[in-house]
């Protein structure tokens, strides 16, 4: 199989599951080729072979930027990528963190300890307006897309609940049904001034015909207890939408694949300065003067890794792309033979985890609780 990169270059990645030595190597040959004809797919595609005799799932991670402050245009862009992935036979498609609504990279929202600026408040108003309600019309459209293209869809969004925002992942099945969501339980650093905190009620792992699917977002993937909760639910296809394009992210993804004995699919945005509004409407604090419109502000690094720690596709740092691999589900059992973190390699009499998986609400009305209890009887 091969990958095509936009305009005039071609990336070839080869691996054969029948050859054990091929499982630990990737061969990437860059070569100039003529510009593709107009009917050639619009986006880069990285594709990986697998043993045709094994049960496989074709998965794609999308590496692309949000159309910032323009949610309808971002949804249109998502559909173009979904159509492209479906054309390659993908059954599961994963989008980056905050793809719908946008990742506010470089923004301080005018906040310092003890004060907020008028511009920062206006920045938040616009960001809030770009977020989506769950459920809501944008969720309905995403569900329709998943059904139209017959794919399982994992989508990073900024969720709006009243006037609090959450960094959220939404899950849809291939019949066009919304399955549920995961809210990021721990925003990182300045993210905490614009995003709320998820609770234990939204750490789902969904059993599907293509495997047990769940997600953790960006640096919450570094939280050992959160990962353990997901392992305890039997996750097999671990989705990791992120905003981290540093080299160290790859080590985190490989570790999770090995630790969990699961496939890891990490999707990140590839963004240039021009993908965000120009200054002074939007300012990258502290570095704006050093940036040109073509400066890369997020370099991607999207990757797919097997349960044995083999990099199946990626990481890609070249631009917007579809990055795909055929997941041999037999690899899960092969990996768990070595190490089953919540099974034969656990010591529950010494170390165990309790997860409080009920919703936590700031306000609860007893009359509503009584009605809820009555409805359950």
Structure tokens at 361: 């609400």
97 catalytically annotated:
yes
**Six-digit token string for 90:** 């993908």
Close Cβ partners of 19 (under 8 Å, ≥ 6 residues apart): none
Provide the CB-side half-sphere exposure for 156 (13 A, CA): 29
Q: Which of 238, 205, 233, 199 is nearest to 221 (CA)?
A: 238
The neighbouring-strand residues paired with 115 are: 112
For the chain, where are the E strands, in sequence order? 3-5, 9-14, 27-32, 44-46, 56-63, 92-94, 111-112, 115-116, 152-161, 164-172, 178-183, 205-208, 211-215, 237-239, 263-266, 270-272, 296-299, 302-305, 311-316, 321-328
CA-based torsion, 163, 164, 165, 171: positive or negative: negative
Catalytic residue among 39, 45, 84, 97: 97
**Active-site residues: which are they?**
97
């Amino acid at each position: 199989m091969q990958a095509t990169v936009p305009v005039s270059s071609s990336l070839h990645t080869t691996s054969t599951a029948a050859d054990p030595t091929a499982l630990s190597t990737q061969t990437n040959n860059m070569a100039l080729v003529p510009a593709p004809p107009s009917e050639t797919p619009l986006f880069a595609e990285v594709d990986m072979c697998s043993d045709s005799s094994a049960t496989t799932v074709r998965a794609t991670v999308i590496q692309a930027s949000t159309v910032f402050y323009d949610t309808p245009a971002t949804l249109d862009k998502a559909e173009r990528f979904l159509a492209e992935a479906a054309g390659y036979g993908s059954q599961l498609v994963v989008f980056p963190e905050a793809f719908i609504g946008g990742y506010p990279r470089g923004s301080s929202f005018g906040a310092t300890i003890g004060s907020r600026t008028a511009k920062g408040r206006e920045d938040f108003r616009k960001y809030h307006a770009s977020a989506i309600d769950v459920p809501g019309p944008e969720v309905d459209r995403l569900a329709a897309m998943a059904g139209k293209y017959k794919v399982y869809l994992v989508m990073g969004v900024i969720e709006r609940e009243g006037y609090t925002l959450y960094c959220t992942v939404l899950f849809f099945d291939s019949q066009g049904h919304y399955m549920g969501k995961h809210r990021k339980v721990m925003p990182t650093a300045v993210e905490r001034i614009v995003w709320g905190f998820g609770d234990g009620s939204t750490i789902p792992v969904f059993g599907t015909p293509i495997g047990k699917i769940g997600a953790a977002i960006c640096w919450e993937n570094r939280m050992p207890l959160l990962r353990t909760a997901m392992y305890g639910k039997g996750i097999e296809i671990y989705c990791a939408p992120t905003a981290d394009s540093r080299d160290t992210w790859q080590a985190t993804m490989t570790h999770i694949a090995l630790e969990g004995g699961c496939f890891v699919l990490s999707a990140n945005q590839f963004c240039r300065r021009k993908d965000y509004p120009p200054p002074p409407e939007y300012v990258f604090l502290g570095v704006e003067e050093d940036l040109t419109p073509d400066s890369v502000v997020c370099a991607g690094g999207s990757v797919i890794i097997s349960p044995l720690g083999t990099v199946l596709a990626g990481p890609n740092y070249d631009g917007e792309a579809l990055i795909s691999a055929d997941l041999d589900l037999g690899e899960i059992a092969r990996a768990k033979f070595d190490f089953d973190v919540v099974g034969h390699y656990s010591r529950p009499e010494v170390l165990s985890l309790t997860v409080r998986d009920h919703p936590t609400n700031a306000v609860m009305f007893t009359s509503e609780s009584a009605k809820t209890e009555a409805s359950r009887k």
